[in-house]
Structure formats: C-alpha cells, structure tokens
Chains A and B, each alone.
Chain A
Amino acid sequence: MTITLRLLCVVGAAITFLGMARQIKKAKIKIEDSIFWVLLSGLLLLIAIVPGIASFAAHLLGFQATSNFVFCALIAILLVKEFHNTMQISMLKHKVTELAQEEALERHERR
C-alpha cells in the first residue's frame, strides 16, 4: 500500500468521523444510525496505520495489489449498507402509508 493511499484513508476517516459528529451536533442523525459510519472511519484508520492487515488479506485472497483489495472491500461494505438502506426506506414508506390510511379512516369516522 502506497503512502498516498494510506494518507487518503486517514483523510477519509477524518472527514467521515467529523461529518458524523457535526450532523449529530446539529441533531440531524440519530446516534444509532451513526454507528456504522464511526466503525467505517475506524476501519479506514486501522488500514492506514497497520497496512499489514490489508496486504495480508489481499495476499490470502489472491489480489495482485493491496489497493485493489481495499477498494473491493470498501465497495462491498457500501453495497451491503445500500441494500440495508433500501430495506429501511421500504419499511418507512410502508409505515408512512399505514399511518396516512389510519388517520384518513379515523377522520372519516369523526366526521
């Protein structure tokens, strides 16, 4: 892993963490929803500080370059996160429409 990539990882981790902290301060994100991002920034920092972990895993899985493994792992993590988000949005849509339906029916009864 090049020193540039390691530095980029540190910068990425810092931006992620500080961004999260800022949104929590502004009451825009719940603590429970920030955990993923805090862990992700921790992971980036770990990879930057101990690149041996990434190169060991890359070697084990047969990647030609450690950077390829880092990119691939990050994409996979983000895809899982996106899948989870889609699921949560679907559930929220469901809950919102259920609430609207109940509210509409209650209002009809009161009329």
Chain B
Amino acid sequence: MRVLAVIPAYNEEACIEGTVTNLVATCPDVDYVVINDGSRDHTEEICQTRGFNYVSLPVNCGLTSGFKTGMKYAKRHGYDAVVQFDADGQHLPQYIPDMARAMQEQGANIVIASRILAGEAPVGARNVGSKLISGLIKGTTGTFITDPTSGMRMYDRSMIEAFATGFDLSPEPDTVAMLIRKGAKVTEVPAHMQDRQGGTSYLDFTSSMRYMLRTCFSILMFQWFR
C-alpha cells in the first residue's frame, strides 16, 4: 500500500524541519508532501534547502485548500492512502503503519488516530468541545467516534477522489460525519500525541469558538443538504 503523508504548513519554520526529519526516519516507506500554504516566514526556504518534497501555494488559501492540494497531488501520483499529518510535530509517525493496517484489515475508508483509545483524556474546554462533536456525530450518523477532533486521519482512494474533486470539503469532523452518512466506513486506532513542538497555534479563543460554531452548524444542519 502506497501511503502519502500530507503535511499542510502555514508559518511553521519552527517545527517543519523536525517533523519531516522524524517522519522520514521513522517511516521510510511513507512518502510525504509538505503543502506550504503561502507562509510568510522561512517555511519554504527550509523545505528548499533541506531538499524536502513540497508544493507551495502562491497565496495563503487556508487549511481546507491546502489539504485539497495534497489530495490532488495524491490523486495525480496514484497513492492508495493519504494520512493527514500536522506540521507542528503533534502527530507521531510511528502510528502511520498501524493506521494503514487497520485500513486494510477492516476495509475502512477513514482511519482516525484516537487519543482517547490510547488512554489520553483531553482536559477542560477542549474535552467539552470534543464530547459535544462526538455526540452530534453519534446522533446524526449513528457512528460513535471517540476522538473526532484528532487531526491525524488516514483516507483511502475513494476518499482521496472525494477530497480532490469535492466542493468545500474541509479535513474536519463535520466532513467525516457527512462522509459517514454517504456510506464511508470509519475506524479508529489508539495513538498518543505530543504538544506542538514550537511556533504558535492559530487556535485562540475566538477562532476556537468559530471552529465550534462552524462544526456544529455543519453537522446539525448543512450535512443534510450536501
């Protein structure tokens, strides 16, 4: 199975080198592509001097579009699966083979790396948000996902096709819910994650609220029309 790790990166000069180096060292069989989403820092220069495989968007287009670029890349190069991999070092590459195995053995279209199954319990507001999204997905699709906000997800060929050609498919829980409703099979594997290894997160209070609002509206209302 040919697996591609898609690594969207926006202003990730602090982490991108460590993330890619670690990925290549841990999973030499997994190909990767960094999607530099119009970063204004040295992300692109680092990729260039280190000889990383990267695609550079001419302007900042946002995570959805960056990820779509990765899916189009996977489609053009005929990959069997894509794993969504954060540039900030949160995701641990040693779980990629587990995810690929689960995908093959269980015939899943989407495999999510779950912190909950690994025994990690998110705390505070994040936990509340995550539980709420879990509940909404369970209520609307009947499928229980322990860690819907996990950003480490693997998609098979049919999902690559859907993301590469679809309209406004964000690599987020609401899209997962919609895909389940359209017949996609989702499974989870236990995985630990780390804290971000440098730089700053874009998830401040207002953007977290916007994220929750968008996700809840999308799961509760709009997925019925898509």
B168 at the interface (CB under 8 A from A): yes
Interface size class of A (residues with CB under 8 A): 10 to 19
A101 at the interface (CB under 8 A from B): yes
Contacts of A107 in B (CB 8 A): 55-56
Assess the A105–B56 pair: CB atoms within 8 A.
Answer: no
Render B47-79 as a binary contact track against A, CB cut-off 8 A, 1 for contact: 000000011111101100100110011001000
Given A107-B56, A108-B55, A101-B68 contact (CB < 8 Å)? yes
Contacts of A96 in B (CB 8 A): 59, 61
Name A66-111 residues within 8 Å CB distance of B: 94, 96-97, 100-105, 107-108
B35 to A, closest residue via Cβ: A104
Question: Interface SS of chain B: helix, strand, loop or mixed?
Answer: mixed
Q: How far is the CB of B199 from chain A (nearest CB, A)?
A: 22
Q: Interface residues, chain B, CB within 8 Å of chain A?
A: 35, 54-59, 61-62, 65, 68-69, 72-73, 76, 167-168
Question: Interface SS of chain A: helix, strand, loop or mixed?
Answer: helix
Q: How far is the CB of A101 from chain B (nearest CB, A)?
A: 4
Contact of A100 among B54, B59, B73, B167 (CB under 8 A): B59
Contacts of B61 in A (CB 8 A): 96-97, 100-101
Assess the A105–B55 pair: CB atoms within 8 A.
Answer: yes
Given A100-B57, A100-B59, A100-B65, A105-B76 contact (CB < 8 Å)? yes
Assess the B62–A105 pair: CB atoms within 8 A.
Answer: no
In angstroms, Cα B56 to Cα A15, docked, is 46
Assess the B59–A94 pair: CB atoms within 8 A.
Answer: no
Q: How far is the CB of A51 from chain B (nearest CB, A)?
A: 43
